[in-house]
Each structure stands twice: as structure tokens, then as C-alpha cells.
Amino acid sequence: VGAGLTRADIVVAARNLMNEHGVEWLTMRRLAEHLGVKAGAIYWHFANKDEICVDVVDAIEADLDWSAATTGAPRERLVAHIECLRAHWQQNPSAVALGRRFRPTAAGRFTEAGQQLLIDMGLPADEAVEQWRALIWMVIGFFYVEDGVRHSTHHHPIEGEPGRYHVDVDDRRSLLDTGSLFARVVTLALDGLDAAVARARAGERP
Amino acid sequence: VGAGLTRADIVVAARNLMNEHGVEWLTMRRLAEHLGVKAGAIYWHFANKDEICVDVVDAIEADLDWSAATTGAPRERLVAHIECLRAHWQQNPSAVALGRRFRPTAAGRFTEAGQQLLIDMGLPADEAVEQWRALIWMVIGFFYVEDGVRHSTHHHPIEGEPGRYHVDVDDRRSLLDTGSLFARVVTLALDGLDAAVARARAGERP
DNA sequence: ACCTGAACACCGTTCAAGT
DNA sequence: ACCTGAACACCGTTCAAGT
């Protein structure tokens, strides 16, 4: 009876289920059950599970919108640019674990816009490419650590306060606020970029 | 018959096999086979696989040595401190993937020494704790991204040149050198820290 | 063309039974 | 006390067979 299932159906279901229950939760059989079909049926549309994950990563990436980051000084626009990425990954939690395997670093027009912002800040074009790479590795790396914390036995989420954790380590308990920590990381990086801009303006080659 | 196998034997074997073949390669049956035993036997010594991984992480962490980072100006010592961590994780590749699940952030005496270096640079003690956290999240995050790159289909390692990759993305090929990229990230972060120190000296509260 | 049913080779884990 | 053998409930994947 046929044609009830499309590639798009499978990708949409996989994306939603992963965002809701986590990447590890989703198996071929669960995905199939959700689609009202047997696991083998999916293999007529996709060669394997990885191929589905690649399409999910593509779909999530296509939804990334950074149009908010178009006003203010270059440094403020860059901060807004980065915060768009953070907001996007918070809305698509599975993108972190998925991207780690299938697209470890950002690319495409988001990267081009980011590099342009670094040029606007005063970096020469070739250095802007390198500094962007360093910046985005920091930011994406932060997301990976945050994702690890989410599954850690040492970190206990505080109910009602997303992004805040009690941390138990070496018999001491401390508090972790990933939101303010992220702001601190961005400040460190951008202050470092300001220094690089100052060096570039002074005509040095670091 | 009996007492041929100890917890230490299992942990040593697991650590070596993971460093050699990767974390995902190691299964209970392969571990057992390497120990000349059946998979069920391991469960007399450990409750489950995770418990072995925790011990492996502990064992690797115990080998971390940062005694090289004791000379020079505070900033140079901090750079050396961080590079000890990178060298250590390059010698124990499985620690990256393992630590991500079982110890996402650094702790213990390595952290205390790092915080002291920030105080030596001129930060007040409470801010040193926070800035250290930001710094270590950047550094560990970098390792996670690097580990993802190692398994990515877009990144092709250049033979004979560890840490260097050809990157294929959007029909363009570029070059990636994780060593120099790491140096750039550290420079960005430490320049940012210098700015924080300058603000602290000026008596501001950021 | 599209899907089912049943299998295959793997997992981690359990546990009676052996010694 | 320590280990084996055999099973259990799961994986991803394949593929003849159905319609």
C-alpha cells in the first residue's frame, strides 16, 4: 500500500524525538513505532541511521537565524551574533550532540557574517578568518562542555532555574550558572579580540 | 581458578585498550577476551561498565603532572599550566570522550594551582575562581571540538602531520592546524584575562 | 514502489551452576 | 570466592517475501 512515508517525515520525527528525549534515546525501532511502521521500512528511504542524523543536522542548521545582530557597534553585533547561536542550540538541544559527530564546526553563511564582523572591528581579512575560527571553537566548545554537564553525575540541576546547577566535587558543593559563565567566556574572548585589533592597527604581525 | 583477576587489572586493560582503539571500540566482551576471561567475570569485580570508566578517568587524572609550569611571569606559567593539560590529553586520547561523560570539568589540585596563578596575575580571589572556570571551559571545550573533528567526515588528517587536517566544506577545501589554533585560543583568552586584571587594578567591578 | 517478518551479529547485564 | 555458560532484552542492519 505504499508512499505513506517520505524522507521528510522521517527527518521531522527524528528531530522532534531527539530534541524531546535526547539523541541516545532514539533508536530505529522507536522512530519506526512513532511513524506507525516497522524498522525495516526506514531503510528503504535511508541507507542507515547516520544518514538521517546528517539530514537532521542540516534541517536544524537551516533554521538558524541571526538577523537580530545587525545594529550597534561591531563588537555588540558580534556578541549578538554569538548569542543567536546559543539561543538556537538551546531550542535544539540535540544539535549539540549531533553536530559533534556530523558537523563539529560551524560553516556557511553564519561563518561568513561572523568573519565580516571581525573585519568591521578592524582585523585584516586573512586574520579575521583565523580569529573567527578560534572564536567559534571556544563557543562551540562551551556548548559541548555544557552538554556534558547536563549528563554528569556531579552536576545537579536546580529545579525551576534552567542553566543553574549544584556542583558536588571533592566534598565541596558550589553553584554553577551556565548563562553568566557563557557571558564571561564571551567577554574574555572579545577582550582578547580587542587586543588583536589594537595590534593589527599598530601594524604588528603577531 | 580464582583470584586471577583484580580491579586494577581490569582498569589498566580498559585504559590501554581505549587509548589504543578508541572509547567506542571497547566492549565488555572484548575487554574480557583481552583479560583471558568471559564477560560475566568482570561483573563480579565491577557493578557495570560505567564504574570501570570512572576508575579509568581517575587513573588518567592521577597521572596529570603540571610541575613544569613553575617558572617565569604569572602569564607564562598559566600558559604552561594549560599546555600541560593539552599534552596530557594528547597522551590519553580516551580521556576526552570519557571525561565528557564522567568528569566534564577539571577539579582538584590542578584547579587550585590554576586559580592561584590567576591571583598571581592580579585578580582578587573570588574573581579568580570565576575566571578560572571560564578559562577551563574554553580549554576543555577546545579539546571536545578537536575530538569531534577527529571523527568527522569533513576533516581529513594529513598523514605524518598530527593535528593537521584538510577541511572540506561547501565545496571549498581549507587547512586546519589544531596546534596553532589552540595557541590562538589561549592567546585570546589570556589577552582577555589581562584586560580583566587591568579592570580589577583600576578598582572596577565588572 | 514500498513495506513486513524474520533473521543476523552485535550490545550490556544477570544469574544459576560449577569449582 | 571467583568464574563459566547460557540466557535476556536490547541494538543497527539485511533481505526474501509479500502487496
How far apart are the C-alpha atoms of A79 and A189, rounded to whole Å?
A: 10
Which H/E stretch holds residue A146? helix A125-150
Q: CB within 7 A of strand D: which residues qualify?
A: A 2, 26-30, 39-40, 43, 47-50; B 1-5, 32, 37-41, 44-45
* Alpha carbon separation from B135 to A111, B1, B105, B119 (Å, rounded): 23, 51, 11, 14
Residue A205 at interface with chain B, using a CB cutoff of 8 Å: no
Which H/E stretch holds residue B143? helix B125-150
Residue B24 at interface with chain A, using a CB cutoff of 8 Å: no
Residue A163 has pLDDT above 60, yes or no: yes
Cell numbers that stand for B94 in this block: 580516551
Q: Is A103 exposed, middle or buried (0-12, 13-18, 19+ CB in 10 A)?
A: buried
How far apart are the C-alpha atoms of B193 and B199, rounded to whole Å?
A: 10
Q: What digits encode the pLDDT tens for the residues B64-91?
A: 999 987 889 999 999 999 999 999 999 9
Residue A36, Cβ neighbours under 10 Å: how many?
Answer: 9
How far apart are the C-alpha atoms of B182 and A187, rounded to whole Å?
A: 18
**CA count, 13 A, side-chain hemisphere, B13:** 19
Do A56 and A14 touch, CB atoms closer than 8 A?
A: yes
Radius of gyration of chain B (CA): 20
Do A54 and A36 touch, CB atoms closer than 8 A?
A: no
| pLDDT level of residue A1 (50, 70, 90 thresholds) | very low
> What average pLDDT does range B88-100 have in this prediction?
94
Q: What digits encode the pLDDT tens for the residues A166-203?
A: 999 878 899 999 999 999 999 999 999 999 999 999 87
